[in-house]
Amino acid sequence: MRLVRAELLKIRRRQATWVMLILSLFLLVVLFLLGSVTFQLAGIIEFPEAYNGISQFAFGLGGLLAVVYAASFVGSDWNWGVVRNVVARGESRSKYLLAKAAALAIAFAIATVILYLVGIVLAFVAGWLFGLPVESPLRGRGLQDLADNLILGYPVLLERAALGFAVAVVLRSQLAGAVVGIVFFLGESVVKFTLLGATLFQRAGNVIGGDGIELSGPEWYQYLPVSVGDYVVAAAPGGSGGLTNIIEQFLIRPVPLDLALIAVAIYLVLAMGVAIIAFDRQEIV
């Protein structure tokens, strides 16, 4: 516990923590207000559908920020050489890394709650500004919907952060971890979009050949680490899973929630396992 408390103190004192949080809140404000004014759609800010917008942000773009932050947080121990102090004091390497991960998980949980609270307030602000109906956040199943969104989205956020975390530990660098994490995050989206295009092209051929459109899948690329998380977020009340998911639902079946959750858990455990094994075997010079 003292290790986790120490890691939380590091997080609190890091300037990057507050920069990331302020950046996230700024982007949330911009996107919420822009979304409302552009589409003028009540659905975007009407609860429980409004939760989808917050989820898409918190676990979509928020996931990207989590990759960067997790990589920079753990990688900085190598950049500043402090990892040497900890290991030389006889601390268990795996315990140290797990404490770091636990502290990050706590920090992400707090950040998610803050984003949701601000998002809910923003829905009302947007409704008031543009004269759109908002409804109560407790409408329908109310708090249950909110809890479902958080419960389904949070593991996805952790899984994505774990990818950046593992890359930074393996490469022993915060910058390399953040860059590779971003490339991995965005690269997978590009790969998935390309493969989806190929599937679309194939389906178009079938339509021309008179076979009609037939749903297939899920395809293997839907199980890639970032993509599979989208299906979990989309399964939450009001969730659509983003633009790609909306397009692909006409072509391929989504990954079922239970399988998607298992895949997210596997990726999370795998990333942490790789990080722990890599750190345990590292010689520190």
- Give burial (CB, 10 Å; 0-12/13-18/19+) of 26: exposed
Which residue number, 84 or 139, has a Cβ lying nearer to another protein?
84
Residue with Cβ nearer another protein (84 or 141): 84
What are phi and psi for residue 216, nearest 5 degrees? -135, -175
- Nearest distance, CB of residue 178 and another protein, angstroms: 17
Shortest CB 52 distance to another protein, Å = 37
Cα–Cα dist 168/98, whole Å: 14
* Residue 80 DSSP code: S
CA dihedral 122, 128, 129, 132 (to 10 degrees): 100
Tell me, rounded to whole angstroms, the distance of Cα 27 from its chain centroid. Answer: 15
> What tokens were used for 285?
């010079």
Q: Which lies closer to another protein via its Cβ, residue 2 or residue 131? A: 2
Question: What is each CA distance from 83 to 87, 146, 193, 279, 284, in whole angstroms?
Answer: 6, 39, 39, 10, 8
Q: How far is the CB of 163 from another protein (least distance, A)?
A: 24
As measured in angstroms, the least distance from the Cβ of 285 to another protein is 7
Taking a C-beta distance cutoff of 8 angstroms, is the pair 254, 234 a contact?
Answer: yes
- Least distance between another protein and beta carbon 84 (Å): 6
Interacting residues with another protein (CB under 8 A): 2-3, 5-7, 9-10, 13-15, 76, 80-82, 84-92, 96, 283-285
Closer residue to another protein in complex, CB, 100/192: 100
Of the pair 78, 267, the CB lying nearest another protein is at 78
